[in-house]
Structure 1
Amino acid sequence: MHKSRLGVMVIDCEADDLNSHETFWAGVLGREREAGSKDPKYRDLKGPPSELRVLLQSVDHAPRVHLDIETDNIPAEVARLKALGAEEVGACKGWVVMQAPSGHRFCVVSPQRPDFAENANVWND
């Protein structure tokens, strides 16, 4: 048995400096800018804990939006998603990049939001 759910909407920005993108998306979504980010490649847009996490990411590819599926068992979730038709693209820094049959990329990551344990879907492996 393992758990998973949609955890993060990631806005990929083709930029070295996320400041202007962070200002724009915080205004669009009514969220607070992250104070003092530790990693210049990522910015969290702070919102209510009950809502989906929104993360900006500096990338070297064309801008897009991708989803992160959070799970308490990455290998089990990857296997479940493969059985549904997804393909594994590769591993990166502790998460796995997947591709849906539609061609959309998404990531399988560790739990990101504090209410994961009580609100995630339960899957029988």
Structure 2
Amino acid sequence: MIRWVWAFLDRPAARFDECVSFWSAITGTTPSERRGADGEFLTLLPDPALFAAAGIKMQSVTGRGGVHLDFDVEDIPSAVRYALDLGAELVANHPGYAVLRSPAGQLFCFTPAGPAKSTPPPAHTAPDGTRSRLDQVCLDIGPSDYAAESRFWTSVTGWDHTEATLPEFSRLRPKETQPVQFLLQRLGEDRPTTAHIDLACSNPEAAATWHRSLGATVIERHPRWIVMADPSDTLYCLTSRAPDNH
């Protein structure tokens, strides 16, 4: 059983400091002390006064980076065996955690479950009063892989899989409180599965203006969401979902 889910932002080493500043600002968090052999890992910590649990980590990487998922579980070997039976590939088995790849290519990790988590932090209020919350990871899946990949993630998480408003989307919602839910997006072309971050915003246009002032770029506007690029040119989306509904 998954105890906690972490949205893990992998960002290029050359732009990592800028990305840490950007993502901590827009989520209202404070970067932890860096850890790892090369100081490559950190956690974005909510205000202690909120008595909320963190749900976002960052990693400095070579290459372009992206997003992966960490699942805290009680029994890592059992979780690995279960995922492999579902079609996952074992990438690396490190002391204390395992790195895997979904059948269509999305990286994720099984990590040890720590103390019981509390609730995720509330939506963050921007300087202009608009509110937003990083509460969703979107899995971008090629059409040929969509059915099988959807079954895989539904089985691995044990979450509820439901259709969304638009036919190219469906949702995976946890049965218990977690920092993020998943949106599954059927792409128009076949390619390996990747992931991006979605933020629920009370006013996506206002959020886009604020994010631009912090170093982001507007890529595309759609009726219900805005595609953005952070300071490392990694894509994410601002959506019109209500940020205070969790």
User: What TM-score range do you get, normalising by the shorter chain?
Assistant: 0.7 to 0.9
Residue in 2 aligned with 1:28? Answer: 26
- The answer to whether the 8 A contact 1:71-1:108 is kept is yes
Q: For CA contacts below 8 A with separation 6 or more, give which structure has more relative contact order.
A: 1
Deviation (angstroms), 1:92: 2.7
Task: Please state if 1:55 is matched with 2:57.
Answer: yes
Work out the CA distance in 1 between the residues paired with 2:104 and 2:51: 30
Work out the CA distance in 2 between the residues paired with 1:20 and 1:38: 18
- The answer to whether the 8 A contact 1:49-1:114 is kept is no
Residue in 1 aligned with 2:133? Answer: none
Residue in 2 aligned with 1:95? Answer: 97
SS state of the match for residue 37, structure 1?
coil
Q: 2:77 aligns with which of 70, 75, 78?
A: 75
Root mean square deviation, CA, Å: 2.6
Residue in 2 aligned with 1:42? Answer: 41
Deviation (angstroms), 1:93: 4.2
Structure 1 residues 44 and 91: CA distance shift in structure 2, 3 A: same
Structure 1 residues 49 and 94: CA distance shift in structure 2, 3 A: farther
Work out the CA distance in 2 between the residues paired with 1:112 and 1:29: 23
Instruction: Please tell me whether Structure 1 or Structure 2 has the larger radius of gyration of its CA atoms.
Output: 2
Per-residue deviation, residues 15-57 of structure 1 (Å, max 9, x unmatched): 06743221111112222232x4344211110126655611111
- The answer to whether the 8 A contact 1:53-1:113 is kept is no
Deviation (angstroms), 1:70: 0.9
Moved more, 16-25 or 85-94: 16-25
Deviation (angstroms), 1:62: 2.2
Q: Specify the code of the residue in structure 2 equivalent to 1:45.
A: L
Structure 1 residues 27 and 100: CA distance shift in structure 2, 3 A: same
Q: What TM-score does the superposition give when structure 2 sets the normalisation length?
A: 0.41
Q: What TM-score does the superposition give when structure 1 sets the normalisation length?
A: 0.76
Which consecutive unaligned segments of at least 5 residues does structure 1 have?
A: 121-125
- Percent identity over the alignment is 24
Structure 1 residues 49 and 69: CA distance shift in structure 2, 3 A: farther
